Each structure stands twice: as structure tokens, then as C-alpha cells.
């Protein structure tokens, strides 16, 4: 790591979400439900140079670790993201986010007539991931196919 590039200090314990597509950091915070009022120390870096992406965002959250569902949600809007787990200032785990083959309960179907959009039916949305790049999802119930622009996690 080139020290000249270090914009915010390293963290002691927590999660660094790196290689987020430029401009998506606030959406990542929203997925994590972080408003700032919870008291976590958070660093947001937006639109910095990246060899791989041209520009990228970074989110660092101290003393917070992510659930599988949170990682799946992040994968939908930031498929290039890397999740780094930090313990005692060291990166002890680094993995790229990856969409699962089936997504449950995260995304809503865009078909208003779909059974998952009938509040009285209580059917949890469920999608088959047809393609990961670009993201393409098929509703398990009505067969509607949704592309990247139609997915609102
Ligand atoms: N980081 C941090 N606090 C630490 C350790 C790392 O905030 N105690 C951050 C780094 O600034 C970087 C990310 O976590 O944004 C990953 O760290 P590292 O693996 O050391 O950096 P790179 O080798 O540049 O990562 P990659 O190969 O994934 O680009
Ligand atoms: Zn549907």
C-alpha cells in the first residue's frame, strides 16, 4: 500500500468495504443502516483514484461486521466490492462480494401483479440469478426478468 494514497487513517477493528463503484458509498451505508447516530466511527472516501476501477469509493466502519444478507445486498449494487475484516490493525480476511444463485427477501419484483406484491399473500420475494455481470434476476413466482436498472435493494 502506497502511504501517499492513505486518505483516512487505518482502523483498529472492523470492516473496510473497498473497491465500491464510484458514487455508491452512500448506498452501502444505507444498506448497513448506518445514519451516524449509532455511534460507530465511520470513514467515507468517495471518488478516489483506483488502478482497477478508475475511480472508487471506500467505506470503513469500526467495530462493525457484516451479515451474509448485508454482503448480498452490497453485491447487488457494488459487484466489484472487496470486504476486508480488520482485527488489531491487520487485514485478517479479504473477499470479493459475490451474488448467490438465489436471492430471497432482498429485492422486490417489479411486476405489480406478482404474488409477492400482494400484501395479503405474505410471499417472500425470491429470484434466480440468471446473470451476475450485468445483474439479471428472474422472479421465481411470475417469471419477470429484471435488469440492473430495475433492481432497488
Ligand atoms: N485498511 C484499513 N485499516 C487497516 C488495514 C487496512 O483501513 N488497519 C484498509 C486499507 O486502507 C485498504 C483496505 O483496508 O483500503 C485493504 O487493505 P490492504 O489489503 O492492506 O490494501 P491493498 O493491498 O491495497 O488492498 P487490495 O489488494 O484489495 O486493493
Ligand atoms: Zn414476480
Does ligand 1 lie within 6 Å of residue 50's CB atom?
no
Higher-pLDDT residue of 95, 149: 95
Ligand 2 geometric centre to CA of 142 (Å): 4
Mean pLDDT of 40-44: 94
Buried residues in 101-110 as b, exposed as e (16+ CB within 10 A): eebeebbbbb
Residues 5-17 pLDDT 10s: 667 889 999 999 9
Which of 134, 79, 77, 139 has its CA nearest to residue 103? 139
Which pLDDT score, from 0 to 100, does residue 123 have? 96
**Nearest alpha carbon, ligand 1 atom 1:** 10
Q: Is any atom of ligand 1 closer than 6 Å to the C-beta of 11?
A: yes
Residue of 86, 91, 92 to test ligand 1 pocket, by largest number of atoms within 8 Å of CB:
91
Kindly give the distance from the C-alpha atom of residue 105 to the centroid of ligand 2, in angstroms, as a whole number.
Answer: 12
Atom of ligand 1 nearest to the CA of 18: 15
Which residue from 76, 91, 84, 80 is spatially nearest to 59, judged by alpha carbons? 84
Output the DSSP codes for 87-101: ETTEEEEEEE----S
Q: What is the mean pLDDT of the chain?
A: 92
- The string over 46-64, giving b where at least 16 C-beta atoms fall within 10 Å of a residue's C-beta and e elsewhere, is eeeebeeeeebbbbbbeeb
What pTM, to 2 d.p., does this model score?
0.87
Nearest bound ligand to the CA of residue 58 = 1
Distance 110 CA to ligand 2 centre (A): 7
Summarised one tens digit per residue, pLDDT across range 125-140 is 999 999 988 889 999 9
Amino acid at each position: 500500500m502506497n502511504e501517499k494514497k492513505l486518505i483516512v487513517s487505518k482502523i483498529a477493528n472492523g470492516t473496510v468495504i473497498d473497491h465500491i463503484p464510484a458514487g455508491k458509498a452512500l448506498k452501502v451505508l444505507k444498506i448497513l443502516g448506518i445514519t451516524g447516530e449509532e455511534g460507530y466511527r465511520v470513514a467515507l472516501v468517495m471518488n478516489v483514484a483506483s488502478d482497477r476501477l478508475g475511480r472508487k469509493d471506500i467505506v470503513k466502519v469500526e467495530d462493525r461486521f457484516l451479515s451474509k444478507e448485508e454482503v448480498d445486498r452490497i453485491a447487488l449494487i457494488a459487484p466489484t466490492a472487496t470486504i476486508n475484516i480488520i482485527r488489531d490493525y491487520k487485514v485478517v480476511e479479504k473477499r470479493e462480494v459475490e451474488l448467490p444463485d438465489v436471492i430471497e427477501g432482498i429485492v422486490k419484483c417489479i411486476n405489480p401483479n406478482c404474488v409477492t406484491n400482494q400484501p395479503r399473500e405474505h410471499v417472500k420475494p425470491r429470484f434466480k440469478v440468471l446473470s451476475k455481470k450485468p445483474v439479471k434476476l428472474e422472479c421465481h413466482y411470475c417469471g419477470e426478468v429484471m435488469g440492473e436498472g430495475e433492481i432497488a435493494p
